[in-house]
């Protein structure tokens, strides 16, 4: 009978993890699927609107304040991201330019994308006439 060594057990676990990564996709691959479409504030109603975007690695909730078809404030109320905290400065870029078509924060592109999509989702709610 063959005994299992710690080295063999480690190699077996490593092989399983590698095969799961190959067949299930790498963690964070869902971020690549997110498209930043831009926003249209022309029909957006005044108020503060919540937007959410979640991926396997990054989860963001924002509160976007709109007044007279302009974004006046963006608060990030949840950002689970690992090392993506530097991306939070992207909200000021959106306010300054009044668009989500802004440059990503270097070194935090995943968080940048998820934050921008959460903002777009909030603006979409502001523009949806059925949303209250």
Please give the model's pTM, rounded to 2 decimal places. Answer: 0.78
Q: What is the arithmetic mean of pLDDT over 52-69? A: 97
Each residue's pLDDT tens digit, 87-122:
999 999 999 999 999 999 999 999 999 999 999 999
pLDDT of 14 strictly over 70: no
Residue 39: domain span: 30-127
Task: Tell me if 23 is assigned to some domain.
Answer: no
CB atoms within 10 A of CB 129: 7
Domain containing 34 — which CATH number?
3.90.1010
State residue 19's pLDDT score. 45
**Does a structural domain hold residue 16?**
no
What whole-number distance in Å separates Cα of residue 58 and Cα of residue 33?
13
Task: Please state the rounded mean pLDDT for residues 43-66.
Answer: 96
Q: What is the pLDDT of residue 25?
A: 44
Place of tokens 């109603």: 45
DSSP per residue, 16-57: HHHHHHHHH--TTGGGGG--------TTPPSEEEEEEEE-SS
**Which range, of 17-21, 67-71, 127-131, averages the lowest pLDDT?**
17-21
Q: Give domain status of residue 25, yes or no.
A: no
SS3 77: strand
The residue among 32 and 83 whose pLDDT is bigger is: 32
**Domain-embedded: residue 46:** yes
Please give the average per-residue pLDDT across 67-75, as a whole number.
98
| Domain-embedded: residue 24 | no
47 within some domain: yes
In a domain, 86, yes or no: yes
Q: How far apart (Å, rounded) are the C-alpha atoms in residues 49 and 69?
A: 13
How many domains does the chain divide into? 1
10 is a domain residue = no
């Amino acid at each position: 009978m063959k005994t299992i060594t710690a080295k063999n057990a480690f190699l077996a676990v490593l092989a399983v993890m590698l095969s799961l990564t190959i067949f299930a996709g790498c963690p964070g691959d869902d971020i690549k699927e997110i498209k930043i479409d831009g926003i249209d504030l022309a029909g957006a109603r005044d108020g503060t609107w919540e937007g959410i975007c979640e991926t396997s690695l990054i989860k963001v909730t924002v509160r976007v304040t709109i007044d007279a078809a302009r974004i006046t404030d963006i608060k990030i109320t949840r950002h689970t991201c690992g090392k993506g905290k530097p991306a939070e400065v992207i909200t000021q870029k959106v306010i300054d330019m009044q668009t989500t078509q802004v440059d990503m924060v270097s070194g935090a592109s995943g968080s940048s994308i998820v934050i921008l999509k959460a903002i777009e989702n909030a603006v979409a709610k502001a523009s949806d006439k059925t949303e209250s």
